[in-house]
Structure 1
Amino acid sequence: MNLQGVPAIITGGASGLGEGAARVLAAAGAKVTLLDLQIEKAEQLAAELGGIAIKCDVSNAESAEQAFAQSLAAHGPCGIAISCAGIGTAGRILGRDGPMDLSLFSKTINVNLVGTFNILRLAADQMQQREPNADGERGIIINTASIAAFEGQIGQAAYSASKGGVVGMTLPAARELARFGIRVNTIAPGLFKTPMMEAMSQEVQDALAAGLPFPSRLGHPEEFGKLALHMVENPIMNGETVRLDSAVRLQPK
């Protein structure tokens, strides 16, 4: 797909992986809409990139529907959707104070998995309205999972389940939406320099980076964006989940 002038919606677009994707896509000519709860940060970045920012809770149907309607009015039907909004939670199934609070598990699933599906369904609905290109393509949806979907560590049962669900729906979604000319892919990132990571001490960050085979450093959000850009531009990449992790395989803890 040629990105020039194509409306792109990026959730979690105010920072981290979403910001990296937004910067790369905007530089390639896409018209970006940043959806985020951190609306002030999103507005600052949108102004820099020549896009727009809309406050959105991806886990809430009405909030996402309103955000997509606003983006449609401003830029036209979405041609690219990248879901980066999510939460990182940690908690043992059996902790010192008893079993995990079920609300923590439910919230993680609701934001990371249900929220991703919420964006997927709304993006697909707009994409089917677009004129197809020579390949018959109308749009592409890129989800964000995690290597924790494959090697979840102790304390990551909720997070791994949510990201495993994102991986699991990628192929059936791609198969179903194929008749509309809509592709669906997922990126499973490893350890990246995101606000969540930067909240840790430099000592902890250095220790984590040292465990990466090569390169032995944290990934940069723009490198996530570059893979997203390749997925957009490569017309036969469809139904795939791609690890982006410096060849690391997580240990139990």
Structure 2
Amino acid sequence: MQLDFVDRPTGRHLLDSIYEKFAKPQLHDTFKPSNPSIYIRHELGQVVDGNYIIEKVFEDSGTGFYAESRLPVSGNNPPVLVIRGYGSWYPFERVLEDTPDVFMAKLERQLKAAETAGAVDWIKQQFHSGNPPDVIGESLGGKVAQQIAAKYPNYLRSTVSFNSVGVSEKLAQTSTANNIFHYFTLGERYAFWANEGDYIPGTIFVISQKGENCCYKLEEAIVRRAHFERKFCKRRVLMVILAQWLLLNRHNAIVLNKKKPVVVQIDRAQLQTFRKSRFV
């Protein structure tokens, strides 16, 4: 069956460049009300990215869960539920509440919060109205999106994650969800450091701005040097700070909106090899 949201030559989700802007923080526009990132709080009825209106906000202060439902103002794009990742950038909050779900793959606190806060009911309403939504998220948000897809597979059009942390191995192995898309930035570490979880089966991509060019190799050399430097000294401290800044920027960088990004599809076996890079 041909899927109307898949680019046939590449296998990419046709809305991945829009969804990446929704799911990831955009630090250079942190204080701009028009910033479409889920890491920024928006007002109900606000239009973001020129074509999506914030319809509802779903939030649970106890677990840190935060999500927004967005409807297209025009065109044929589907409704989308955007789930925030680890903490917010503005206002800065919910880091402590989010932490357990980040580091323990089997925890489903935020999934349950999505149910009690009304996000899952919204998904079902959209489905029954003939508009099954997409569910997307980055980092922790990607984990929760996968959990929703695994538990409610028949209500979604597709699920898209960016640099997602893992779900439990049992959930990954038993999921019957379809139309799953995972995007990982080349050289990603944070998603794999967070926990030992797995990913529900789907189409997997490694993305970068220019592939393994000289700049990328230099960054990798710095990260590896910081990891293997044993002597505690000012040089090591500076190396670690620089390496963490590079990795944080890599984890959150907007890639798919750049000119001619490098997008490579990989299989699950290659993903396992890719994940091992978190140790070096």
Shared topology, TM-score over 0.5? Answer: no
Q: Identify the TM-score tier after normalising by the shorter chain.
A: 0.3 to 0.5
Given the two structures, how large is their TM-score scaled by the length of structure 1? 0.38
Given the two structures, how large is their TM-score scaled by the length of structure 2? 0.35
Q: Which has the higher contact order (CA 8 A, sep 6+)?
A: 1
